[in-house]
Chain A
Amino acid sequence: MKVRFTFLIGGMVLVAMQLAFAQTGALRLPRTVEAGSAFSIQSTGSGKATLYIVGPGQVLRRDVQLGETTSFAPGDLHNAGHYLAVLVGESSIDNGTFDVTAADQPAALSFLAKPSRLPVGLHSGISGVVYVFDTFKNLVLTPVQVSFQLSADAGGGQRQTVTTRDGVAWTKIDSGAKEAAAQFVAQAGSVSVTRVIQQVPGNPCSLRMNAHRAGQRLVLETEPVRDCGGNAVPDGTIVTFTEASSDGQATVDVPIKRGIARTEMPAYDGARVSVATGVVMGNEIRLGKE
């Protein structure tokens, strides 16, 4: 209890000292400064002193003549945040604080778009988050209009406009109906950033194969493999052919090439041939006698 009381008194003294400095200091500070812009600090009194400006990731030191105005060039202070100015004279020390704020004009966007690859026709499948920054990479905290646009060569673009809150704007967008590498663009003012979202076909739909004999071999070939939206399933997708006969079983995992999967297997009379890809089953063929 005693310790708490001591801390309370100490805190009150410190606050009182801060207020006293702000009210009685020989510094006349601007209330806020826009990052990167020129500004000046007026001091009172006479003689020489040293002015220190301490802020996030930055310290400035200037030898000043008391009673004159000290000017700072554009770009001298570029990190947004709370700054402390300390004027150390020959017989006195004064200090005060001011804020450096981000410029209102967006100069850079950090755009997080996820996922970079997803199946077509997924509701709210794509999320986009934009952080708006000024020239000096300070987060712009004033509300800014950000537009999100998802478009592909196949057309059918979507557009949404969102206002930033505390420097951040986000949205969710459905993936398109057609397979494409879509351009996902975020734009704020004249600044835009593009991400590529690959909209890929979904699971194959109605997988079908044909078979014909070529001597002792059986040639198996699927029809063009497409998803339920009619998009061609990409080359490289594995299609498994299984042939079961009284002589045993034969399987082969074949990648789709140029839209179809094709292979040869031994031809056995009465054999049952099936086709599948992933967890999707296709048709079954029973071989008759030659």
Chain B
Amino acid sequence: MSTGRLLAIGIVVATVTFIVIGTLWPAASAVALAGSGAGLLHPSSTAQAAVENLAHEIGQHSWDTAYSSLANKNEFSEDDFKRDLTGSYSSLRTYATLDNVEVRPLHASADEAQIQLKLHWSTVVGTFAESRELRVTRAGDRWEVTWPVVKEPRVPPQVITVNYLRWDVIYRGAEDDWGAQDVEAPHLRIVDMHPVERSDGVVLLGELLNEDVVPAFVSVKATLLAKNGSAIASEDSFDKISHTLLPKQVTPFLISFHNVELSQVDSVHIEPSSSLIAASADPVIEIEDQKLNPAPGASLTGKLVNQSGQIVNVAHVLGTFYDNTGQLVWVSDQYVDRALLPGTPVSFAISIPPDIARKVSTERAITTAYSSDRLQ
């Protein structure tokens, strides 16, 4: 009985102690989660602390506080600062949340420091990172950050004539006779497909062609079969594919099977599916200056140029990589975090695994565009 009472008292004392410690010396992550940690921030008495404070304020969307702490606020407005980080037009940035930051001092003297700030943003389609090199200067007993603002170009008011082309579909209705045929699903063809063994499992790579004259919404599901015919695993391409295929358009696809060895696989059952959708042939996006950059940090870089008059809020770039025999060796993708304005290039970089990069000889890139007026 006395042992139980002692245990209860011990638990109460420990709880109270931890509450007091947590309140007086909170962890950085707890401050961030609390959402109002301004009062708990370190004073900007060092260059690194000034950058950390700024990053925290950006993460909290405390634009006013962040802007007022900058050394060069006379060069741009608070709106410019906010637009630099969240985008002028609705894009992935607009809905992104700051996941974490990396602060790396590059150079420091008594009155000035050069610090690299890497911001890792989190979005519904994954994360993206941006890096800024900040100049931090001493102003009395505190340090202030000079923000290298990137002003997004604005599209001047104008009328852009577009020869608008779209497909609309009338499906069969409930009143139609059972013999009345519905509109035919678009015809697809798999033009390439093969499995590749990776360290974390098996990856199925391929290319799919819409050989019809109508737009298609496509997806690919694959099942790995063992020698005895049993299914090992079944997966689909998720977003490693361009789901909307216009007539005669080709998309790559990649399907990952984790924790599966290629030696276990006897055959692959692949099910491409398509449905007829209402779609538009616009916007047309050109992919300029495509370059294959070798390892380390192998990547496919380039610029997207929106040739139409419509603003593209989210662009998805898919890269298909081939070896010198023309065989497909990898598929990779990237979502572009800024909106594509008419005629304004936006850079992208798709990373390639180092071991694959050595084999890559040629590539092909395609884009899929999403505009907010079509998402509604």
Contacts and interface: CB of A to CB of B under 8 A. Distances in A.
Interface stretch (B36-44, B130-138, B206-214): B206-214
B286 A263 contact: yes
B288 interface: yes
Nearest to B248: A278
Interface string A200-211: 110110000000
B209 A252 contact: no
B291 A236 contact: no
Interface stretch (A49-57, A86-94, A105-113, A158-166): A105-113
A45 interface: no
A46 B70 CA distance: 113
A229 B307 CA distance: 32
Interface residues of A, number: 42
B64 interface: no
Contacts of B249: 238, 253, 278
Interface string B187-216: 000010000000000000000010111110
**A195, A277, A279 pick with most chain B CB within 10 angstroms:** A279
B364 to A, nearest CB: 7
B284 interface: yes
Interface string A258-274: 10000111100000000
A110 B365 contact: no
A116 interface: yes
A238 B165 CA distance: 12
Interface stretch (A24-32, A75-83, A243-251): A243-251
Interface string B245-289: 011111000000000000000000000000000000110111111
Contacts of B289: 247-248, 250
Contacts of A249: 290-291, 363
Interface in A176-230: 193, 195, 200-201, 203-204
Given A236-B215, A249-B363, A278-B209, A255 B177 contact: no
Interface stretch (B84-92, B178-186, B330-338): B178-186
Contact-residue size bin, chain B (C-beta under 8 Å from the other chain): 35 or more
Given A116-B182, A252-B307, A238 B246 contact: yes
**B191, B249, B289 pick with most chain A CB within 10 angstroms:** B249
A65 interface: no
Given A116-B184, A252-B284, A263 B209 contact: no
A237 interface: yes
A237 B213 contact: yes
Nearest to A249: B290
B165 A114 contact: no
Contacts of A266: 288
A258 B286 contact: no
A263 B284 contact: yes
A233 B214 CA distance: 12
Interface string A100-129: 000000000111111111000000000000
A63 interface: no
Given A238-B247, A238-B249, A110 B179 contact: yes
A36 interface: no
A131 interface: yes
12 contacts: A115-B181, A233-B213, A235-B281, A236-B281, A238-B246, A250-B287, A253-B285, A255-B281, A263-B286, A265-B288, A278-B211, A278-B248
Report the 10 A-B pairs with minimum CB-CB distance, sorted nearest first: A110-B179, A255-B281, A278-B248, A252-B286, A249-B290, A238-B249, A237-B247, A248-B291, A116-B184, A200-B213
Interface of A: 109-117, 131, 193, 195, 200-201, 203-204, 233-239, 242, 247-255, 257-258, 263-266, 277-279
